[in-house]
Structure formats: C-alpha cells, structure tokens
Amino acid sequence: MPHDLPKAYDPTAIEDKWAEYWVSENLFAQPTPTAADEAGGESFTILLPPPNVTGRLHMGHMLNQTEMDILTRWQRMSGRRALWLPGTDHAGIATQMMVERQLVEEGKSRQQLGREAFVERVWEWKRHYGGAILDQMKRLGASVDWQREYFTMDENLSVAVREAFVRLHEQGLIYRGAYIVNWCPRCQTAISDLEVVHVEQKGHLWEIRYPVIGDDGKDSEEFLTIATTRPETMLGDVAVAIHPEDERYLHLHGKKLRLPLVGREIPIILDEWVSREFGTGAVKVTPAHDPNDFALGQRHHLPSINIMDDEAKINAEGGQYAGLDRYVARKRIVADLEAQGLLGAIKDHTNNVGHCDRCKTVVEPRLSTQWFIKIQPLAEKAIAAVKPDASGKKAINFTPEQYEKTYLNWMENIHDWCISRQLWWGHRIPAWHCSACHQITVARVDPTACAHCGAVEITQETDVLDTWFSSGLLPVSVFGWPNFRAPQMLRAPSIPRSAAEWVGDHESAESMGAPGPSHLGTWESKANRADFDAFYPTSLLVTGFDILFFWVARMIMMGIWFAQEVPLPDGSKRTLADSVPFREVYIHALVRDANREKMSKTKGNVIDPIEIVKQYGTDAVRFTLASMASPGTDIAFNVARTEGYRAFANKIWNAARFLFMNIDRAAEIGITIDPSSLPLLPFVGADAPLEDHWIIAEFHSTATKVNRSLENYRYDDAANFIYQFFWGSFCDWYLEIVKLRLDFSESADKQNIKEALTTLLSVFEASLRLLSPFMPFLTEEIWHAVYDDKPPAKSIALMSYPPVQSSDAGKQIEMEHVQSIITEIRALRKEIGVEEKAVVPIELRINAHLKHVITENASIIERLAKVSEIHYVEAITPALAKRSTSGFDVAIIYARTIDVAAERERLTKDIAKYEKGVAAAERQLGNEAFIAKAPAHIVEGLKKQEAETRLLLEKARAALDALPPEA
C-alpha cells in the first residue's frame, strides 16, 4: 500500500533506522570544494567542541549539539556549504587517570609498566572504549561530516602541534623557567589555574616563634612570631618579611633569625607588600611553595628551597622529616615546636584551599621547571580581534554580548601560559636535552645529535604539552595546517550501533569506534589549501561558558597567530578579520532541573538525556530544548514539556495519515496527486478559496519569522512559531476546513478535490521542511512517505529550507474574521448550554466591508461552529445573549427544550442544598468563640463562601419561579 505509515507514532521504531542511514549514506559529508564550486558557494563551518575521549553524553552536550545541529541543518537547507566537523580530545589528565585506575585494580602502576608500555596501553583503551560519546551523537542524528572525524593525537594533528611548538620557539615565544605551579600530588603534574577548584575549609593559623640572633651571633632571648596555615613549609623558609614601617619591628631591621627545627640563619627582609594587619605582621618566606613568596624571593634575590617531592612527601631538604607525607610532617613539626616552646597560639582560620579539578586532591603550590608561552604578542591580537576596528566592526562577536567583557577582562590580565604537563599521555614536547653542553635542541624532526655541540648524548624532554595546546590549534589544524594536503577521505565513518547497543558499556571488541592513529589514510604533504580556503575562518563556535578561557581564548590566540601567515586564496595578506578562527561565538546556557536547580550528582537531580530520549524519542527532547533555548537564559528542563512535544509529533503523524488516507481514496475514484510535481514553495491561483490563500500566507509568514529567529539564536521563538503554525493553523484550522472539500460521494467535484489535496500536500510537505532541523527523524520518515519512497533527494535534510518570503496579509486578516466569528459562536454555545450536537441558526451584525468575506465562507462557519443558518441583521434581537467585537455582533437563536418536571425537581433539590449551606455558615459565623480563635483568612473565606451560596440560592429560586406551569 502506498504512503505506508504505521498507525501509531513510535520514535524508537524510526530513529535508529534514519540515524544509521544518514551515516552510512554519508549524507552530511562536505567534500573539499573544487575550483568551480568555489566561485559561488558560501560556507557555514562549525567545529564541535571536541568531547574528551573518555566522555559520556550529558544534558549540556545534548543542548549544545541540538543548537549546533539546528543551525547546521538550517544553513545546509538554506543553500550554504555546511560543514560541521566532529572529533574527540585526547584529554591528557582525564584519560591517563582512567587507565591508571584500571592498572591499580590489576595491582599494577604506570611506573611499573614504563612510559612506552603505558602509552600503548592508553591507545589500547582508546581503541576499545574511546569516543563512545560520538556513537551517542550518531544515534542522536547530529548532521556532522563523519568522514572528517579527528582525534587530537592523530598523525596530521600531531604534526601541527609540533610545527606550532617549533615555530613559537624559533620566534622566541617559548621559554623554560622556574615557576610556582599548582602541583597535583596524585596526578603528579602541574595543572593550570583554571583546573584548580577552590574550596572553603576550616583550618588553623599556627603561630611560631623564630629566635632572633643577637649581635654576638647567638640566639637572643627575643623572638619574632610568624603565623602560617601550612607549618610544614617552614622547612623551606629563606627569610621572614615585615613591613618597613611596622613600628613593632623597627628595632629588628637588619637582624637575622634562627629557623626552628632546621637551624638555618635567615634574614629579616623589609617589603611593603606585607600586611601589618594579617596575623602577626611577620611573614615567613618560602619561595618554592607559595606564589607570593616566590615573587618576594625574586625581588629580594633569595634562594628557593623545594622541600617536597612529586607525591608531596618531604624530601632530603627537610632533614629529619624527609620521607614523611606533608600532613604527617605537619603534625610532627607542630608537636616538636611545642616541645621546644616555640609554638605560639593556634587560631581557627577559614581559608580557600585549592583542589585538583580532576581528582580532588589538595593542590600543592610548588616550584618547578616548566615550559611557557610568552603570551603577550598573541594576547594582544586576541584582544584586538574582539574590539571594534576603525570602522566599528569586530572580527569576533560574542552572543550573549556580556561574555565579551568577561573574555577581555581575562585576556587583559593574562599571564604567560605554562604549557608543560608531567604526564605520559599527550604530545611529548619536541625538545632534547644535551648532557654534554646542557643546551636544548628543539626540532621538527627527531634529532640524532645536539644542535649546539654535536654530542649524541641527548634525551627527549619527558613532559607533554597541555591538552589545550593541541585543542587551541584545531581551527587551523583540522583544515590541514601546516602541511596542506590533498583533499581526501581520512576514514570511512562507522555506523552507529543499534538501539540496544548504543547505551551499552562498550565492553566488547566489536564495539570498537574509529581506528587508531596507525590506521590513518595516506598522508600527503602536497600543498593544497582548498579546505583551508573554503572553511577558515569558521563561521560559528557554540560552546559552554566553562571553557571560555581554557579553549575559546586559546583558539583565538593560536588561530590568529598561525593563520595570519597563510595568505588569502588570491595571494594577498590575511587581515585580522580573516585570521580569526571563528567569526561568531555563541555561549549556550545551562540546563537545570524543573525547579531551576543546578543538576548535581550529590543532589541526585541529574537528568540523563539518553533515558529521556528512550522514553520520548530524540525529536521530542530536541524540541523541548530548542523551545526554551535563547541567549543567556538557563533552561529548566521539565519532562512534562517533552511529553507535550511528543504529542506534537504525534499530531503531525496523524495529520500525515489523514492526508495519505484521502490521497488514496481520491486515487480510487481516479484522481491522482503527483508528489513529484510539488512546488518548492506552495502557491495557489487567484481564484482559490480563502483558506488556501490563508494557509499559504500563514506558512510564509511563519517561515519568515523562523528564519529571522534563527539568525538571532532565538531557538525558542523559532520552535514556538513552528509549533503554533503546525498545530494551530495547519491541524486545528486548515485540516478541519479542507475536510469540507473532501467529498468522495457520487456527486464529487473531482477538480475541487484535486485542488484541495494538492494545496494540502504542498503546504504539508513544505511544513515538514520547515520543521526538519528541529525534528529531523519524524520529518524524514513522513517526507519519504509523502513521496512513496521515491523522493526527489536522499533526505529531506538536503532539500531547500522555506526562505524569508512576503505573504498576503489581506488574506490573513480576512481569515482571522472568519476564525473570530467561529470562536465567538463556540464560546456562546458553551455559555448558554447548547447541546454538543445541535446545529443552530445565528444572528450576525457585521460591518459592510466584511460581509462579502463571511458570505463567501459561510460554509466554513456553518461546518466548524455547527450553524444551520446565518441571519444578517441590523441589530441583534435584544432578548438574545450576544458577543461583540469591533467588526461584528453575533448571537445564537436557541430555545432549550426542557423537561419542566425534571427541572423543577432539580431546582428544588438545589435550593434545599443551598439553604442548608447558608444556615451552616450563619451558625459558624455567629459563634463568637470560634470567631475569636479562628485565623482571619479562615473567617474571610467563610464569609465569602456564605455570600456565594446566597447568590446561588437566589438564582435557583428565581429560576424555579420562572418555570412554566406543568402541562
């Protein structure tokens, strides 16, 4: 049977099928444009913020991906060369941690395994379990180009990382230096300021008395008392600082102190940075373990003594405390100080303690040698790109605009970027240390000898690069920078798993995702910039606030820095506006629970998108998110809404079935409707009935509003306009009106049926295209059915989007009058109790210029409002209940036939009931003891209730009196 749609809308039955089809048919692949394409096409390029290879889909991803997919599908259907590029991030710390945990379970450690074997083990993990989140994306129908899927440690991207590092080094922008870093003793690596979470904790402030050394070189009787929250760090003290004008300590200027427990002589130094109010006004200086002390040490040329090892255990510098964990050492030191009478007061103190964002271990500020990027020339350009140029234009625009300020504020206060991490998993720094001359060789190709002295005793740096170094390069590296290569497929896409598997644990080898780096396609360094020329700068970045600094800022810095060297296709120099990695940044909001609470595991209010999708279907979840998404507004995710949008999908499904049923019935009497002749934009001839003109005008004005809304990221408005059009105008009004013309009896007017069905089908088909970016699965299924599985394209997503179009406002207004009369009659019928099925005559007083609209469309009013006859009058008969608008008055001529006896009985019963109620209320209100005790609102309520019952009583008595005598 043609147009075969199952009776019930069941998303699970259709979504898997289409998700698989879109991937296997490579529908959203965006090939490198050829020279011929290049001339006309406009690109819409968007990068997926690469999820961690260890990641799982959460509601934030679902929102982000829904927004990106709606825009990409809309742009593609609107004729742009749309490319949405997916990939995953190797996520240094997160992935290494995951595999380390596995090893611990096996009773092993990464150190036992050794670097090479460990890294191989991580690759192994990645091949088996990595990228599960991309499979989830496939199942959710994201219209990305799977052929271009990348992994940040792919060979081509690694080449870009290496080139960027070497180039920055050659430009004098990379240096190695001692610096206080946030050290995670668990992860055993430096982590960035952004990866430290500060938690307020109750602790103590210990006062310690440092003996002052007298002029004779011996400890005097005097002490200088310092206060510290981390007593164990005293082992690394090299001075005590006081404010030069602190009157308490003027006599100590130039003196030295004896460091307790250690015995070292340390100077008292003067520095205006010291706060006289905090603690005792004397500050111990430990340059190797505190950023402020480090700065003090630099100013006063003090040595730095690092007293901890990588695990935050005291090292040999700590003498008798060597080998102790930092907190064990703290206890011992406090006890020893007390025993020696050097411990002063211990005060309660609340301070902000930094924790590792990954493993929650308390971070230890610690001096270490790290690699840095001199940020200044890069940051300058990244600031300029966001500020208006001479003509007032910005190279990069933020939506919502407030984030521009946040970005600039951070960028203007940026420090040099520490890019080294003490991990094994990641891009190993391409620098070699020479054991002969101690110089460093940085090279594009692994060197065999020192570049400075020629010695062969060189060893590669053990650190890897910060993960954000490689992800910051993505906008240039994914398009082939620096070795522009021939356009070609990197890999064949993998098909999403079936519904049963896609949420599974990926335990089996069959569920392997994309192949690892050794399976890469051919790599050619042949100069070919077609991809870069066509897709860079990308159009838009949609991302979350949380990675504004981590990622967005770094892409802007690195994108500009490296792209500016690539000339434009015509050979001219790239301006700042053409060097930026993206032209627009859209920061999406948070998804909260239905009560607007932030979702958190501890609160137990986390909504798993996969679970909701299983229950209601992807389309309904996407539509829910879209219907609430607008710039800067958080989303309160409410399942009740999703249920409502599933009903919306169901409504469209039923409309399709109704339509197909009628087309099939028409075919039986020889009327054929040819879907292949459907116009891209629905239209009708001048003599078509009002409803056809009206629905087409409604369609165009909806399409116009949807396009305008999407241009401004108003997903909510766009979704709501479509919803109102499809459910209200199309289903509730238009279908009901068109039914009048679908008369398949002997006397059927075949031409009329054909015209009605043709318009109906063309509006419906175009409406599916309008809805498609929001509900891709439902629309794909129905659209293929419209064409009896012989569609004009492989997918509705490849058809054209209804554009901004002027509409016939006159016809819309005319139809609104007809609708308004119907609505008023329906309300009147309810008001005066006209039985549901009764067909009644009406009186209508209408302004002269509208009368012809009503007379021409009387059949619509008659059918939809169950009207038998319209009496046009100069004035409504006074006795009739009427409704009025500025254009008309309407009344129903209706006399209810009633059973007098039954009515008398009913009214008598009602009167008795009301009398009882009034009496009870009077009794209660007359009870003074009750009135004295009862709360005011209860008494008020009672009084109100009494008054209402009295009114009902009077009405019922009057009705009883008005009853005619029984026959």
CB of 613 to Zn ion, least distance (A): 33
- Given a contact cutoff of 8 angstroms between Cβ atoms, the answer to whether 807 and 701 are in contact is yes
> How many helices (H) and strands (E) would you count in the chain?
32, 29
Only one of the segments 448-456, 563-571, 676-684, 819-827 lies at the binding site for Zn ion (rule: CB under 5 A); that segment is 448-456
Only one of the segments 352-360, 537-545, 635-643, 665-673 lies at the binding site for Zn ion (rule: CB under 5 A); that segment is 352-360
Only one of the segments 160-168, 177-185, 339-347, 892-900 lies at the binding site for Zn ion (rule: CB under 5 A); that segment is 177-185
CB of 457 to Zn ion, least distance (A): 8
- 455 sits near Zn ion (criterion: CB under 5 A): yes
List Cβ neighbours of 835 (8 Å cut-off, separation of 6 or more). Answer: none
Compare residues 190 and 799 and give the one whose CB is closer to Zn ion. 190
Residue 130: which region, alpha, beta or left (left: phi > 0; alpha: psi -120 to 50)?
beta
Among 408, 453, 576, 873, binds Zn ion (CB under 5 A): 453
Beta strand 196-213 pairing with 219-228: antiparallel
Q: Dihedrals φ, ψ of 635, to 5°?
A: -105, 125
Q: Which residues pair with 398 in a beta bridge?
A: 585
Tokens 């790290």: give the residue.
370
CB of 361 to Zn ion, least distance (A): 5
Compare residues 441 and 949 and give the one whose CB is closer to Zn ion. 441
- 366 sits near Zn ion (criterion: CB under 5 A): no
DSSP, collapsed to helix, strand or coil, labels residue 601 as coil
In eight-state DSSP terms, residue 203 is E
In angstroms, rounded to a whole number, what is the distance separating the alpha carbons of residues 385 and 560? Answer: 9
Only one of the segments 56-64, 361-369, 733-741, 837-845 lies at the binding site for Zn ion (rule: CB under 5 A); that segment is 361-369
Compare residues 187 and 261 and give the one whose CB is closer to Zn ion. 187
Q: Work out whether the CA dihedral 276, 278, 284, 285 comes out positive or negative.
A: negative
Compare residues 81 and 326 and give the one whose CB is closer to Zn ion. 326
List Cβ neighbours of 362 (8 Å cut-off, separation of 6 or more). Answer: 353, 354, 355, 356
Beta strand 420-421 pairing with 464-465: antiparallel
Of 536, 631, 533, the residue nearest 583 (C-alpha): 536
- 450 sits near Zn ion (criterion: CB under 5 A): yes
DSSP structure string for 576-598: HHHHSSEEEEEEE--EE-TTSPB
Compare residues 194 and 359 and give the one whose CB is closer to Zn ion. 359
Q: Which residues pair with 700 in a beta bridge?
A: none
- 186 sits near Zn ion (criterion: CB under 5 A): yes
- 187 sits near Zn ion (criterion: CB under 5 A): yes
The kind and range of the H/E element at 103 are: helix 92-105
CB of 219 to Zn ion, least distance (A): 42
CB of 117 to Zn ion, least distance (A): 22
List Cβ neighbours of 885 (8 Å cut-off, separation of 6 or more). Answer: 820, 824
- For residues 291-350, which are near Zn ion according to CB under 5 A? none
String marking each residue 611-650 x if it binds Zn ion according to CB under 5 A: ----------------------------------------
Q: Work out whether the CA dihedral 364, 369, 373, 376 comes out positive or negative.
A: positive
DSSP, collapsed to helix, strand or coil, labels residue 161 as helix
Only one of the segments 176-184, 526-534, 540-548, 899-907 lies at the binding site for Zn ion (rule: CB under 5 A); that segment is 176-184
User: How are strands ordered across the β-sheet holding 189-191?
Assistant: 189-191, 174-184, 364-373, 417-418
Only one of the segments 115-123, 444-452, 766-774, 906-914 lies at the binding site for Zn ion (rule: CB under 5 A); that segment is 444-452
Among 452, 596, 830, 851, binds Zn ion (CB under 5 A): 452
- Given a contact cutoff of 8 angstroms between Cβ atoms, the answer to whether 917 and 950 are in contact is no
Compare residues 384 and 437 and give the one whose CB is closer to Zn ion. 437
Q: Work out whether the CA dihedral 161, 162, 168, 174 comes out positive or negative.
A: positive
Size of the site for Zn ion (CB under 5 A): 14
Amino acid, single-letter form, for residue 443? A
Q: Dihedrals φ, ψ of 840, to 5°?
A: -125, 155
Compare residues 131 and 185 and give the one whose CB is closer to Zn ion. 185
CB of 407 to Zn ion, least distance (A): 27
CB of 360 to Zn ion, least distance (A): 7
Compare residues 184 and 464 and give the one whose CB is closer to Zn ion. 184
- 358 sits near Zn ion (criterion: CB under 5 A): yes
Only one of the segments 56-64, 208-216, 222-230, 358-366 lies at the binding site for Zn ion (rule: CB under 5 A); that segment is 358-366
CB of 458 to Zn ion, least distance (A): 7
- 554 sits near Zn ion (criterion: CB under 5 A): no
CB of 311 to Zn ion, least distance (A): 12
In angstroms, rounded to a whole number, what is the distance separating the alpha carbons of residues 56 and 61? Answer: 9
- 434 sits near Zn ion (criterion: CB under 5 A): yes
Compare residues 29 and 436 and give the one whose CB is closer to Zn ion. 436
CB of 440 to Zn ion, least distance (A): 9
CB of 312 to Zn ion, least distance (A): 11
Compare residues 168 and 184 and give the one whose CB is closer to Zn ion. 184
Find the length of the chain: 967
- Given a contact cutoff of 8 angstroms between Cβ atoms, the answer to whether 279 and 204 are in contact is no
- For residues 9-48, which are near Zn ion according to CB under 5 A? none
Amino acid, single-letter form, for residue 865? A
Q: Supply 79's token pair.
A: 């004729």
List Cβ neighbours of 284 (8 Å cut-off, separation of 6 or more). Answer: 208, 210, 226, 228, 233, 234, 237, 239, 240, 293
Compare residues 184 and 613 and give the one whose CB is closer to Zn ion. 184
CB of 465 to Zn ion, least distance (A): 18
- For residues 876-915, which are near Zn ion according to CB under 5 A? none
Of 94, 616, 648, the residue nearest 608 (C-alpha): 616
Compare residues 429 and 797 and give the one whose CB is closer to Zn ion. 429
CB of 450 to Zn ion, least distance (A): 3
- 437 sits near Zn ion (criterion: CB under 5 A): yes
Of 353, 371, 324, the residue nearest 189 (C-alpha): 371
CB of 127 to Zn ion, least distance (A): 25
Residue 540: which region, alpha, beta or left (left: phi > 0; alpha: psi -120 to 50)?
beta
Beta strand 150-151 pairing with 635-636: unpaired
Only one of the segments 353-361, 547-555, 745-753, 951-959 lies at the binding site for Zn ion (rule: CB under 5 A); that segment is 353-361
CB of 58 to Zn ion, least distance (A): 21
End-to-end CA distance of the chain: 62
Compare residues 157 and 356 and give the one whose CB is closer to Zn ion. 356
- Given a contact cutoff of 8 angstroms between Cβ atoms, the answer to whether 578 and 568 are in contact is yes
- 359 sits near Zn ion (criterion: CB under 5 A): yes
E strands, 789-919, are 840-846, 867-872, 882-884, 888-892
- 184 sits near Zn ion (criterion: CB under 5 A): yes
What is the gyration radius of the CA atoms in the chain, in angstroms? 38
Compare residues 76 and 358 and give the one whose CB is closer to Zn ion. 358
Among 283, 356, 703, 761, binds Zn ion (CB under 5 A): 356
In angstroms, rounded to a whole number, what is the distance separating the alpha carbons of residues 141 and 23? Answer: 9
CB of 313 to Zn ion, least distance (A): 16
- 436 sits near Zn ion (criterion: CB under 5 A): yes
Compare residues 422 and 709 and give the one whose CB is closer to Zn ion. 422
CB of 193 to Zn ion, least distance (A): 14
Compare residues 71 and 184 and give the one whose CB is closer to Zn ion. 184
Compare residues 434 and 566 and give the one whose CB is closer to Zn ion. 434
In angstroms, rounded to a whole number, what is the distance separating the alpha carbons of residues 783 and 766? Answer: 10
CB of 373 to Zn ion, least distance (A): 23
Compare residues 186 and 665 and give the one whose CB is closer to Zn ion. 186
Q: Under the rule (CB under 5 A), what is the footprint of Zn ion?
A: 184, 186-187, 356, 358-359, 361, 434, 436-437, 450, 452-453, 455
